[in-house]
Amino acid sequence: MRRSAILLLLVLLLSAPAPVSLSRAAAPVAVEPSPVRMTSGGCCTQPFWSADGKQVRYIDRPAGGKLGIYGVGVNDAGKGPRLISERIEDSRIVGDFRVETNGSTTTLVRLSDGKTWRVPAQGRNVLFSPDFKRIAWSITDDALAPERQVAAIWVAAVDGSGAKRVASVRRGSLSGWVSRDALLVTGQDPKSTREQVLWTLTIKDGQFTELARAERLRSAVLSPSGRWVVYYTTFDSDGGNGLWLASTSGGKPRALPRQAFGAYQWRRVGVEDRLLVVPFRPEARYHELWQLDPETLEMIQLTRADETPFKIANGDWRVSPVGDHIAYVESRDRNIWVLKLP
């Protein structure tokens, strides 16, 4: 029974990562936002945003309709959804590019002119640098046992030229671009069989710079600016369990207080990064939304359950690219709703 309870708690923590302090919170904002329902009939899950953040999109096959990507403008909720594309691959649009993977082939499509070309990513997805002039990907031999797997980290120009292997990381993964010249990478310390390490990797010289390490370092999420990374650790023998915040420029990671656990995602507010947190409170009827400043670790409450009742189903929510809304699946009716952020 105790083991089952521990496993259940672990699942909850992994699906909704993050302890955050509410004790430093400022007063809630004066104006409470009101959620707006975007779909009906409980049709859909996993909403995503158009690149400009003006439209919520999702994959659906409505009765009598076509399978495809449908969208609703954030200001057009009453008009109902419209078919955006019959290409499911369009859900993988990043900026001006669509990424298509098929077997051992990776293809990029530039939407502005329709030009198409293959890149040597061998069927893997690619991550674009902030200026969209480079791509990166990792290749792992999945046929090997997990403890023997090594991730090869590759970088190329966006047209696929000049591809080079910049590093190999045992049990590694590629998390994102810190800047146009550096990547965020996680992997196992080559001198230890226990610890996972979070590094920045400089593309020019393949230099690793350690940001953090732990026995079970999980879910490293890079902020929009590339300045911050949030991660959490579990079952650490040194007692360092919980949510941590590291600066990609270096320095000692900071542990965030453990008074609350919750789901988190980054938001851009102007040029600043903010961490949105939905505290994990299983006894609560509705969720609340809080915002953390990574510089000061101070939090403000964006919604209150008694004034803005909403409850996200299965951690299914997304922040818009411009940081002004969240789209989520409401647990009460299984429809997609949008909440405007203060």
Note the pLDDT of residue 163: 97
Q: How far apart are CA 184 and CA 179, in angstroms?
A: 9
Distances (CA, A) of 214 to 51, 196, 222, 238: 35, 5, 18, 9
Domain count within the chain = 1
Region 137-151 average pLDDT: 85
For range 298-316, the mean pLDDT: 93
pLDDT for 242 equals 78
Report d(CA 22, CA 298) in Å as an integer.
8
Cβ atoms of residues 173 and 185 within 8 Å: yes
Domain of 51: which CATH number? Answer: 2.140.10.30
Give 18-65 pLDDT, tens digit per residue: 344 444 444 445 456 789 999 988 888 899 999 899 999 999 998 888
Rounded CA separation 307/288 (Å): 10
With cut-offs at 50, 70 and 90, classify the pLDDT of residue 260: low
Q: Are 230 and 221 in contact (CB under 8 A)?
A: yes
Over range 312-327, report the average pLDDT: 95
The per-residue pLDDT for 1 is 40
3-state SS, 269-288, equals: ECCEEEEEEEEECCCCCCCC
Sheet of 299-301: strand order equals 261-269, 272-280, 290-292, 299-301
Q: Render pLDDT for 105-124 as a digit per residue (tens, 0 to 9).
A: 999 999 899 999 999 999 99
Q: Mean per-residue pLDDT for 69-84? A: 89
* Domain ranges, residue 164: 2-340
Q: What's the rounded mean pLDDT across residues 144-165?
A: 92
Per the prediction, the chain carries an average pLDDT of 86
Rounded to an integer, what distance in angstroms lies between the CA atom of residue 50 and that of residue 144? Answer: 38
Judged against a pLDDT cut of 70, whether residue 3 lies above it is answered with no
Confidence grade of residue 288 (pLDDT, cut at 50, 70, 90): very high
Nearest to 150 by CA among 141, 158, 159: 141
pLDDT of residue 236: 65
Q: Where is pLDDT greater, at 19 or 284? A: 284
Q: Looking at residue 30, what is its pLDDT?
A: 43
Percent of the chain with pLDDT over 70: 88
pLDDT in tens, 157-195: 999 999 999 999 998 999 999 999 999 999 998 777 678
Distance, CA of 50 to CA of 61 (rounded, Å):
19
Residues 6+ apart with CB under 8 A from 46: 58, 59, 316, 329
* Tokens of residue 298, six digits: 């101070």
Contact 182, 202 (CB under 8 A): yes
pLDDT (tens digit per residue) in 197-250 = 999 999 999 999 999 998 888 889 999 999 999 998 877 666 577 789 999 999
What is the model's pTM? 0.85
- Coil/strand/helix, residue 108: strand
| 136 phi/psi in degrees, rounded to 5 | -135, 150
* DSSP state at residue 41: T
Look up residue 54 and give its two tokens: 């003006």
pLDDT at 90 over 70: yes
Residues contacting residue 170 through CB under 8 Å, at least 6 positions apart: 149, 150, 151, 187, 188, 190
What percentage of the chain has pLDDT greater than the value 90? 61
